[in-house]
Amino acid sequence: MDAQAVLPRDVASDVWQDWTSLDWAGIHQTVRRLQTRIAKAIREGDWRGAKRLQKLLTRTTSAKALAVRRVTENQGRRTPGVDGETWSAPDSKWKAVQSLHTTGYKPKPLRRVHIPKANGEKRPLGIPTMKDRAMQALFLLALDPIAESTADENSYGFRPFRSTADAIVQCKNLLARGHSSKWVLEADIKGCFDNISHDWLLQHIPTDRKVLQRWLKAGVVEMGRLSPTEAGTPQGGIISPVLANMTLDGLESLLAERFKSRKHKVHMVRYADDFVVTGSSKELLEAQVKPVIEEFLAERGLWLSPTKTKITHISDGFDFLGWNVRWVRNGLQVKPSKKNRLAHYDKLRQQIHELRTAKQENVILSLNPIIRGWARYHIPVAVAATFKKMDHLLWGKLWAWAKRRHPSKGKRWIKKRYFRREGARDWVFAVDGMRLLRYSDFHFREHFKIKADANPYDPKWDAYFDECLTRLMMATLTGRKKLAWLWREQGGKCPVCGQPITKQTRWHVHHKVRRSDGGSDKLTNLQLLHPTCHRQIHSQPAGSPRRNGSPEAG
């Protein structure tokens, strides 16, 4: 019964002949059912049963199709590995689904590239081939329910429905009261992804060890030269963030066990490999807490950076995830850090310099996403003063940009040409129906932290996660009334596959009746669909249920 209960649902794979015929609603149901059962087995301590279910999941056509869909829809879908292949056509995607099996599987080496970091240094990134990415995505479907069921409660990085905003709210919860801890250990793990012990991973990660070992030992190609990989999990692999999280999981519970007394005030907040630990005194953190952390990391081949790890009094403040946390006269203050502000301003400055000969509308189109993204990231903290200052700095760069274009014109002419008045606001950088966003257009919005023990693979939390998704999407769709109405009208789900439409999945607007056939842009003729579901509908013959966006298309 344990292994056979889901098999009839995947029998439909026998009639799937190509990528466009896949039944995504049934595929998601099959995978979700198995993932739920894996999580249940872990909660009940049945690790042997969980292992059997993992093996079953990775062998289903449904899971393989979802794995291929993920790697062909994410941001890196057009970036090839060492073999130069990408899967863009439906035929290549269907062949990829059929090729995902462990028999004879041997990963190819990673293609090494270097991407810039905020501090000016470069971060090595290993790019697997499309097939290796799909295999990692496949095994991640089976591993993630276990990772979520065993994760530290206050770990917020690379996990469903968790974000940096949750981490900073937890910091405020721990430090905002008068009797809260006043000392913080700022921990920095030196090269976490690059130094995790392969032996530890192979002994403790509950997945197919042979496949995991092949990924870890695949090697790296840089400048045409192959180098072996003796430690670490590559930054760029789909499964790498979960492996890193599972490597560090257990540290929070270890600290809670070692320092049970309330007088110690030892608490931990972690986002991926960045974490802070609170304590009642500097001596406690230095002499007792830090050695426990170092011992825990040493078992995994990791160590703290001696130069970047420090113990700070809350009145001096510390930076965490782009925010500065400091105790001031009126209480705890959290605002965008100086380092983060300068990095953002430098990005704006470079962008404006590159657009020094561009049209005004192109400048607006280029800068608005940068302003919107940075502002939305910071609105869970105190932002009014910071945003006012950023508006002033941005105005200065735009004024210099405008004067440079017309050195022989007067200031009044330049102002009239590029800046307008909107209501009570003057100096609005605008042109014919579009204007540049201001940071002050965005205001503080309280973030409701996710409940620590919420598990997306436990059915009892489904209603709670629906509420979380609704809040998140309504914030994402602020100012886009038509999209927000469609999202709510559809219950936040794609009518084709029945799965949630989120910021991560992205969406397309579909016309039930094509405009070329007389269809209008009225809301009653529109639907929000996942990109793959949208392409699948348009691949069907005109007049079919799927083509008309009918839920019967499933």
Residues 6+ apart with CB under 8 A from 459: 36
- Nearest alpha carbon to residue 279 among 357, 190, 185, 138: 185
pLDDT on residue 3 = 43
Go through the domains of the chain in sequence order and give each one's CATH number.
1-108+115-146 (no CATH), 151-196+231-334 (3.30.70.270), 337-441 (no CATH), 469-539 (3.40.1800)
Sign of the alpha-carbon dihedral angle for 118, 122, 128, 129: positive
User: What's the rounded Cα separation, in Å, for the pair 300 and 470?
Assistant: 39
Mean pLDDT, rounded, for 346-361 = 95
* pLDDT band with cut points at 50, 70 and 90 for residue 8: very low
Q: Which two tokens stand for residue 149?
A: 């069921």
Q: Read off the pLDDT of residues 285-308 as tens digits, 9 standing for 90 and up.
A: 999 999 999 999 999 999 999 988
Judged against a pLDDT cut of 60, whether residue 11 lies above it is answered with no
pLDDT digits (tens, 9 = 90+) for 39-74: 999 999 999 999 999 999 999 999 999 999 999 988
Residue linked to tokens 């192109």: 362
Which residues, other chains included, contact 86 with Cβ-Cβ below 8 Å and sequence gap of 6+? 77, 78, 79, 80, 130
Mean pLDDT of the chain: 90
The residues, ordered by sequence, that sit 6+ positions from 141 with a Cβ below 8 Å of its Cβ are 31, 35, 57, 58, 63, 66, 67
Angle between helices 481-489 and 462-476 (to 10 degrees): 160
Q: Which amino acid belongs to residue 6?
A: V
**DSSP state letters, 341-373:** HHHHHHHHHHHHHHTTTS-HHHHHHHHHHHHHH
Distance CA 326, CA 334 (A): 7
What CA–CA distance (Å, rounded) separates 517 from 389? 51
Residue 446 backbone zone (phi > 0: left; psi -120 to 50: alpha; other: beta):
beta
pLDDT in tens, 88-145: 899 999 999 999 999 999 999 999 888 777 666 777 788 999 999 999 999 999 999 9
pLDDT digits (tens, 9 = 90+) for 158-217: 999 999 999 999 999 999 998 999 999 999 898 888 899 999 999 999 999 999 999 999
State the pLDDT at residue 550: 42
Smallest CA-to-CA distance from 38 within 29, 25, 24, 49 is with: 49
Question: Which stretch of 486-490, 500-504, 536-540 has the lowest confidence by average pLDDT?
Answer: 536-540
Assign 132 to helix, strand or coil. helix
Instruction: Tell me how far CA of residue 237 lies from CA of 71, 153, 503, in angstroms.
Output: 11, 24, 21
Q: Quote the crossing angle between the two packed helices 47-59 and 24-43, to the nearest 10°.
A: 160
List, in order, residues 6 or more apart from 221 with CB less than 8 Å away. Answer: 82, 109, 110, 111, 112, 227
How many CA atoms lie within 13 Å of 125's alpha carbon, on the beta-carbon side?
A: 14
Longest dimension (CA), the chain: 83
Residue 377: what pLDDT?
95
Report whether pLDDT(1) > 50.
Answer: no
- For 286-309, letters b (16+ CB in 10 Å) and e give eeebbebbeeebeebbbbbeeeeb
Q: How far apart are CA 269 and CA 275, in angstroms?
A: 6
pLDDT at 543: 53
pLDDT the model gives residue 536: 82
How far is residue 461 CA from its own chain's centroid? 21
Q: Which distant-in-sequence residues (6+ apart) come within 8 Å of 70 by Cβ?
A: 134, 137, 238
| pTM check: above 0.75 | yes
Going by pLDDT thresholds of 50, 70 and 90, the confidence category of residue 542 is low
- Take residue 455 and report the two structure tokens written for it: 């598990």
